[in-house]
A and B are shown apart, each in its own frame.
Chain A
Amino acid sequence: MVTKIMNWFDDRLPLTATIERHLTKYPAPINMNIWYLAGVLLVVVLVIQLASGIWLLMNYEPTAEGAFASIQYIMRDVEYGYIIRYMHTTGASAFFALIFLHMFRGMMYGSYQKPRELLWVLGWITYLLLCMLGFTGYVLPWGQMSFWAAQVIMSLFGSIPYIGEDLLTWIRGDYLISGITLNRLFAFHVVLLPLALIAVVFVHILALHEVGSNNPDGVDVKKFKDEDGVPLDTKPFFPYDITHDLYAIGVFLIFFVAIMFFYPDGGGYVIEYVNYEAADNLKTPEHIVPSWYYTPYYAMLRAITFPLFGLTAKFLGFVVMAAGIAIFVALPWLDRSPVKSIKYKGVYSKFFLALFVLSFFVLGYLGSVTSTPLRTLMAQFFTVTYFAYFLLMPIYTKYETCKPVPDRIQLS
């Protein structure tokens, strides 16, 4: 009976073939480790965000007058509304935590190298979309931090020479941040950006299944195949990978719900306390801090305190911040190393990757605290080291001695 139904579908749709290609028979390298879980967890979080987002939408009111009150209504009056909202806020932080791990995995094992350049670029686009989703979503509750974060971030466009002020008015749709601005950010957050994200994630996975997963050794598993054309050093996704993925999802959800139930503010990092106050365009909060996942870039923005080449410090800060996010896309072409994985790369690559991680964390800390002259100096230093990882890569990957990569995956 089941076979009959499947046959009916298969005559009209490549159903079995698609399921086998993308799920059950997808060949996963046998040495994939814990770092490879971030990808599947990201898909889980995407589903959580879509579900909780749609449910929030049922009670949210996208107007300057009603937005803040409707959030309180969701929190207090809607049954389990607070859980739905905390699910969405926790999901936002989880999204970023996981995508950082996912990107770091790619950087560590050279997953961006040929033939996975396009896969990396597509992933980078999802990161950009996430940044935009995070920002637009943050404004929607229309609290003090929502309003002033929008004010600070949008006024960056005003610093662009010549066209800045007009561009800013065009983006805001008003002469100040107002309900008009809120409405357009709302349209982006709930329609445009999620649609784009789903589309790009879909193509990202298609591209992954075309080129195949990389692995911690950076060995090309497609070199040795059995008589059916299946790479020897792989195992089918079902039942081998799916079982440990399900286990990982279970563990992940334990942490996720622990934050969601017991620690939804995350000490002011997941939800900032200032945002419990309604937006007031006449009163600036004492200390404007972005969400934790933007703090490294916020530190870069503030690190540029001097004008240069006739450009204002504010505009240069904006450029450096944007470059800090954009530069990931260039990785496949910056890395000249003959090997993929950090395991076989030379000492310089290891040093610069470690320096990059250190810079990212220090900048992340500096972006979350008020600036002092010493901290500004530190932010400047670590902005330089952050970029050094990327900009010096063509040199240090070319002139270091790498270890030989084995032909086959060696399981110890």
Chain B
Amino acid sequence: MQPKSPPNPGRRKFLIGATSAVGAVGIAGAAVPFISAFNPSAAAEAAGAPALADISKLAPGEMIIVEWRGTPIYVVKHSEESLSEIDKNLERLADPDSETQVQPSYAKNKYRSRKTGISVLSAVCTHLGCAPKYYPQLGVVDFDSEWQGGFFCPCHGSKFDLAGRVYTGVPAPDNLTVPPHYFKSDDILVIGEDGDVA
């Protein structure tokens, strides 16, 4: 026996549609906590928050190390002399124009810095993640007879110039990474945010 067709088919259709729509909204709402819980927690956000550094006492040629997101960041103030000679050994560099995207666009210049004279570089060798050491002195050093100042990785011998540009013929493939950063004032450097991109 066929069941009788229900009365008011239009009303039933509307009620089914309306109930489904409300149900879908409910499911979408219930999904919010499940999806949001995947985001970095407040603690993870705090640990990943931008790092501040006071650079007012940094003398030319000096470097400080700032920790940001568990990795060391080198902040170097260059002397006028080293800045003027930054392009002296271009032929020894693998990517002198910073073509590889390991820096924000505002640091894609020959000093690889947002503010000329201040380098902000991730101290993680692009080869295998060791921390390159800072060798500002010029001339003969243990690992190079014509050293122009820069960074040398003791693990596998990668060399970078003062702007963090990698030398050719070393294991590291890329220049040192420049993390996002901006200058809140002349003295305060913020690492981890782009600030207003000029």
Residues on A facing B (Cβ under 8 Å):
169-176, 178, 180, 184, 281-286
By a CB distance below 8 angstroms, the chain A residues around B40 are 169, 172-175, 180
Contacts of B44 in A (CB 8 A): 173-175, 178, 180
- Note all chain B residues with C-beta closer than 8 A to A286: 128
B38 at the A interface (CB under 8 A):
yes
**Does B20 interact with chain A (Cβ within 8 Å)?**
no
Residues of B within 8 A of A285 (CB): 128
> Which residues does chain B contribute within 8 Å of A178, judged by CB atoms?
44
Contacts of A184 on B, CB cut-off 8 Å? 38
Residues of B within 8 A of A169 (CB): 39-40
Q: B37's closest neighbor in chain A, by CB? A: A173
The answer to whether A283 touches B129, judged by C-beta atoms less than 8 angstroms apart, is: yes
- A284 and B128 within 8 A (CB): yes
Q: Which residue of A lies closest to B128 (CB)?
A: A284
**A176 / chain B contacts, CB cutoff of 8 Å:** 69-70
Contact assessment for B128 and A170 in the assembled complex, using a CB-CB cutoff below 8 Å: no
- Which chain B residues border A174 with CB–CB below 8 Å? 40, 44, 47-48
What CA separation (Å) do A282 and B38 show in the bound complex?
25
Determine if B38 and A173 form an interchain contact, defined as CB atoms under 8 angstroms apart: yes
* B128 CB contact (under 8 Å) in A173, A281, A283: A283
- Given known contacts A169-B39, A174-B44, what 9 new A-B pairs fall within 8 Å (CB)? A173-B44, A174-B48, A178-B44, A180-B40, A282-B130, A284-B128, A284-B129, A285-B128, A286-B128
Sort A-B residue pairs by CB-CB distance and give the 3 closest, nearest first.
Answer: A175-B48, A284-B128, A174-B44
Which B residues from 17 to 40 make CB contacts under 8 A with A?
38-40
Q: What residues on A are CB-neighbors of B124 within 8 Å?
A: 282
- Shortest C-beta distance, B181 to chain A (Å), equals 15
CB of B131 within 8 Å of the partner chain: yes
Beta-carbon nearest neighbor of B44 in chain A: A174
Interface residues of B in 41-71 (CB under 8 A from A): 41, 44, 47-48, 69-71
Majority secondary structure of chain A interface residues (helix, strand, loop or mixed):
loop
Residues of B within 8 A of A180 (CB): 40-41, 44
Q: How many Å lie between the Cα of A173 and that of B40 in the bound state?
A: 4
Q: How far is the CA of A173 from the CA of B41 in the complex (A)?
A: 7
12 A–B contacts from the bound complex (CB under 8 Å) = A169-B40, A171-B38, A173-B38, A173-B44, A174-B40, A175-B69, A176-B69, A176-B70, A281-B70, A282-B71, A282-B130, A284-B129
B49 closest partner in A (C-beta): A175
CB distance from B133 to the nearest CB of A (A): 14
Q: Are B48 and A170 in contact (CB under 8 A)?
A: no
Find out whether the CB atom of A173 lies under 8 angstroms from the CB atom of B39. Answer: yes
State whether A283 touches B70 (Cβ < 8 A). Answer: no
Q: Which residue of A lies closest to B127 (CB)?
A: A284
**Contact status of A170 and B129, CB under 8 A, knowing A175-B69, A176-B70, A282-B71:** no
- Our pick among B39, B47, B130 for the contact of A170 (Cβ within 8 Å) is B39
Q: A174-B44, A174-B48 are in contact. Are A282 and B131 (CB under 8 A)?
A: yes
Q: What is the chain A residue whose CB lies nearest that of B156?
A: A286
Chain B contacts of A283 at CB under 8 A? 128-130
A282-B129 in contact (CB<8A): yes
Q: Which residues of B, 134-161, contact A by the 8 Å Cβ criterion?
A: none
Q: Which residues of A contact B39 (CB under 8 A)?
A: 169-170, 173
| B69–A170 CB distance below 8 A | no
Residues of B within 8 A of A282 (CB): 71, 124, 129-131
Q: Which residues of A contact B70 (CB under 8 A)?
A: 176, 281
Query: Whole-angstrom distance between the alpha carbons of A208 and B39 in the complex?
Result: 41
A178→B47 CA distance, assembly (Å): 11
The residue among B40, B41, B131 with the most chain A CB atoms within 10 A of its own CB is B40
A184 to B37, CA, bound (A): 11
Task: Give the interface centre of B38, B69, B130 by most chain A CB atoms within 10 Å.
Answer: B38
Residue of B nearest to A170 (CB): B38
Min distance, Cβ B121 to any Cβ of chain A, angstroms: 15
| Contact flags B85-104 to A (C-beta < 8 A → 1, else 0) | 00000000000000000000
A176 CA to B71 CA, complexed, in Å:
10
A contact residues around B71 at 8 Å (CB): 282
Contacts of B128 in A (CB 8 A): 283-286
A161 to B84: give the CA distance in the assembly, Å: 39
Distance in Å from the Cβ of A283 to the closest Cβ of chain B? Answer: 5
CA distance A172 to B44 in the complex (A): 11
B residues 111-136 with Cβ under 8 Å of A? Answer: 124, 128-131
